Chain A
Amino acid sequence: MRPFEPIVIVGAGHAGVQLAASLRQMGSDRAIALINDEPCLPYNRPPLSKEFLKSDADAKSICLRSEAFFRDNGIDLVAARVEQIDRNKCNVALSSGGSMTYGHLVFATGARRRALELPHGDHPNICYLRSVADGERIRRYLKVSRDIVVVGAGFIGLEFAATAAAQGLRVQIVELGKRFMGRAVSSPVSAHFESQHASLGSEFHFGRSVTSIVLDDGRLVGVTLDDGRGLSADLVVVGVGIVPNIELAASADLPTGNGIVVDDTLATCDPNVSAIGDCAIFASRRYGAPIRIEAVSNSVDQAKFLAGRLTGASGAYDAVPWFWSNQGQSKLQIAGLARDVDQVVVRGSVGEGTFSAFCYASGMLMAVESVSRPGDHVIARRLLAAGTVVRPDQAADVGFDLKACLAS
């Protein structure tokens, strides 16, 4: 440790900003440099697929913290990209020409959108939703579009689809899998959201992929699916996942795979270097495997953990992952990770659209997916954190008091 050199945080997304803020909250008086490669104040990403699209608000309206916050807390917000890292000299070279010595270096480099690899995939009317610039662009197109094709029925695609359909636009969703959010949620939850989106007027094409983009005199007019069917479209929004930004770490000879490899304290093999958030694949005690989680909550939780470690706390990172997605009138909240699930029990009313799916693996509760039942979600996070046993028959019985279970 070089306690007098700054903590340099590469990336000013949710993870980087929270780390800087938590370090100060925990009393650290070390110099902090937060390196931001986007041309605006660090911002909140979730609204980009929802509220931000409905308003004319500027990027400032969704900023994570005000300019005054960074200034008053002595957090040096550096507008630059890190070009190179010299771990022997503990030095980073910036795109602005300068360089910086670090006492501790943190990768909070996040992830970038996976692109649609097709001819004309870079057409201006083929949009993604990752950055505020993406959001602003889609917002402009939404005002003049009529026919929208959404590629990918994951969280982002579906949140956008709900927003667009609510504005009265025709929305068609193309998904390679057989159901909505198939990699993330159980079947009852997929089915609920399918009916929600159907009631908004959206149409779906499951088990299909886009094989070509159709232009007419340079104008986007549609896409072709792998079964040969054509869908007309003047706007295509692609949400087919994200790729962790590991290249900078790899170029500094740090171990990388599906993320920057860190241990259960979020440290890389170099004790002066850590990684947090979407870019980090960490040794999870809870799941006994290396995992990488793409979520705001994970970014924030890992940032807080690391701030604790850098200010003297010990222990391993073991927070319960959680997620949320608001689509139309339905609110999805997930606690835990549904790994190897072999039994799903429903609590509440699927018909009324207020229920929770309790997901079990070999009788052990792994995850709880709540649809407009935030109370269940709240309790589920506590149950999972405490490792409390809730049997499937208890979970299914709405008369059974989960809270009492927690107290015992």
Chain B
Amino acid sequence: MLRIRFIGIDGETAEVDAAEGASVMMAARDAGIRGIEAECGGALSCGTCHVYVAQAYQAMLPQASVEEQDMLELVAAEREAGSRLSCQISMTADLDGLTVRIPDSQT
């Protein structure tokens, strides 16, 4: 199992397990992490699973697709350098320990 660290809106950190290949969104949903809505279930259609990837991990992720970048324009919270849609981040061994912050709002 791989670990993902979520920093919540209130600043509290939650560590959750994720299987290799699972998306960060799925791991958050399964663990009941607050603030990741994922209304479309990972179809890259709603922009409600926005997270801020911690700087140390930003370069390790494959670049966001054009579609993801377009959807990031929709996100409710401020878009930052680490902004990604968590349904598009697939967990791999080298991402073990991935840290993401949850934005104030998804809609």
CB proximity of A349 to chain B, nearest CB, Å? 15
Known: A65-B29, A66-B30, A66-B32. A374 touches B67 (CB 8 A): yes
Inter-chain contact A378/B74, CB cutoff 8 Å? yes
A381: which B residues are within 8 A, CB to CB? 74
Inter-chain contact A46/B71, CB cutoff 8 Å? no
Give the nearest-CB partner of A73 in chain B.
B32
Known: A304-B107, A375-B70, A378-B73. A324 touches B32 (CB 8 A): no
Q: Which of A44, A69, A378 contacts B71 (CB 8 A)?
A: A378
* Bitwise interface map of A from 66 to 96 toward B, beta carbon under 8 Å scored 1, else 0: 1011001100000000000000000000000
Known: A66-B30, A66-B32. A324 touches B71 (CB 8 A): no
* Bitwise interface map of A from 55 to 68 toward B, beta carbon under 8 Å scored 1, else 0: 00000001111101
Q: Does A300 contact B (CB under 8 A)?
A: yes
How many chain A residues sit at the interface, stated as a range, is 20 to 34
A62: which B residues are within 8 A, CB to CB? 41
Q: How far is the CA of A326 from the CA of B39 in the complex (A)?
A: 15
Give the nearest-CB partner of A62 in chain B.
B41
A296: which B residues are within 8 A, CB to CB? 39-40
B107: which A residues are within 8 A, CB to CB? 304
A72: which B residues are within 8 A, CB to CB? 32
Known: A66-B31, A72-B32, A374-B67. A46 touches B73 (CB 8 A): no
How many chain B residues sit at the interface, stated as a range, is 20 to 34
Q: How far is the CA of A374 from the CA of B75 in the complex (A)?
A: 13
Q: How far is the CA of A62 from the CA of B37 in the complex (A)?
A: 14
8 Å CB contacts to A: which residues of B29-70?
Answer: 29-32, 34, 37, 39-47, 67, 70
Q: How far is the CA of A304 from the CA of B48 in the complex (A)?
A: 14
Q: Does A297 contact B (CB under 8 A)?
A: yes
Inter-chain contact B39/A25, CB cutoff 8 Å? no
A324: which B residues are within 8 A, CB to CB? 40, 43, 45-46
B44: which A residues are within 8 A, CB to CB? 331, 374
Known: A66-B29, A68-B31. A378 touches B70 (CB 8 A): yes
Give the nearest-CB partner of B74 in chain A.
A378
* Bitwise interface map of A from 346 to 390 toward B, beta carbon under 8 Å scored 1, else 0: 000000000000000000000000001111001101000000000
B73: which A residues are within 8 A, CB to CB? 375, 378-379
8 Å CB contacts to B: which residues of A9-55?
Answer: 25, 44, 46-47, 50
Known: A374-B71, A378-B74. A297 touches B39 (CB 8 A): yes
Inter-chain contact B32/A68, CB cutoff 8 Å? yes
Q: How far is the CA of A381 from the CA of B37 in the complex (A)?
A: 18
Q: Does A333 contact B (CB under 8 A)?
A: yes
Q: How far is the CA of A35 from the CA of B107 in the complex (A)?
A: 26
CB proximity of A44 to chain B, nearest CB, Å? 4
B47: which A residues are within 8 A, CB to CB? 378
Inter-chain contact A297/B46, CB cutoff 8 Å? yes
Chain B contacts to A: CB under 8 angstroms: 29-32, 34, 37, 39-47, 67, 70-71, 73-74, 107
Give 5 A-B pairs besides A50-B43, A62-B41, A296-B40 with Cβ atoms closer than 8 angstroms: A324-B40, A324-B45, A373-B70, A374-B45, A374-B67
